[in-house]
Amino acid sequence: MISHQGAAQAVPVPASPAAQRILIVDDEPGIRSFIGRALEAAGYLPDFAINGAQALKLVLECHYDLIILDVVMPDMDGRDVLDQVLTVRPGQAVMVLSCVADVAAKVDCLERGALDYLTKPFSLAELLARVRVRLREEAHLRGDAGRAGEGAWICGPGEVIRAGGLTLDVARLVADIGDGPVPLTRLEFLLLRELAEHFGQSVPKGRLLASVWGYDFDPGSNVVDVCVRRLRSKLGFDLIKTVRGEGYQLADR
């Protein structure tokens, strides 16, 4: 375990099916200690980094189920840390924790690939609830098996989702519509997965916001539309249909 005061080294933790490892990146000792004690009490294994450089070092050395990342830090902007983390660990789950409550800042971090954004001051109960939700989503993303919507099949061990002419490789976060694999960001993948699991149906924007970006994100935001535009530019405009007055639907190719 790394000291709350920030010696940048990670001590190997014995593997446990129940214990999930979380990296807390924050330059404020009180915040690190507060969150760390709460996570330990909830059964998680917290590690700590006091700045972006330490965080990047640890991410290269260790596997983390979730990173809780401050944005405003003295040595490196948290958004730059987020970009670099997702470059070296494309599938990494990151929750941003910041004193910046501006909607544009939230959208920017989410568009960069953060899974959630919580502002300071925060409720500890809400933080733990969001941690549980994000870790549950990660487990679902990595290990679900079974039938989704009509025409879509989720394979267990192979970690593959198929719907119409679309194939999603869960392990590699890539999509294939028959022209070869295309890398996706985690948010792009989660949105496509949600559409695939409701293949043949239109999915309201509100549902996509709740399932991909978080239950309390501003329903007036255009992050869904922006993500859909990026997916269309990568995979073809006709992959996702706009159902006027309803939402979006994965096309049957």
Identify the top-confidence range among 9-23, 100-114, 157-171, 190-204: 190-204
- Asked whether residue 72 is assigned to any structural domain, the reply reads yes
* pLDDT the model gives residue 2: 35
C-alpha–C-alpha distance, residues 252 and 164, integer Å: 5
pLDDT digits (tens, 9 = 90+) for 64-104: 999 999 998 888 899 999 999 988 887 788 999 988 888 88
Averaged confidence pLDDT in the chain: 80
Residue that terminates a domain, selected from 112, 142, 172: 142
Read off the pLDDT of each residue in 143-169 and give the average, rounded to a whole number: 60
C-alpha 137: how far from chain center: 9
Residue that terminates a domain, selected from 142, 157, 178: 142
Please state the φ and ψ torsions of residue 204, each to the nearest 5 degrees.
-60, 150
Give percent above pLDDT 90 in the chain.
33
Can you give the residue range of the structural domain that contains 74?
A: 21-142
Distance between first and last Cα of the chain: 50
Instruction: Give yes or no: residues 32 and 130 share one domain.
Output: yes
96 - beta bridge partners?
69, 117
- Give the closest residue to 28 by CA, choosing from 126, 128, 121: 121
24-38, 97-111, 193-207: least confident range: 97-111
Enter the tokens of residue 6.
């920030």
C-alpha 210: how far from chain center: 13
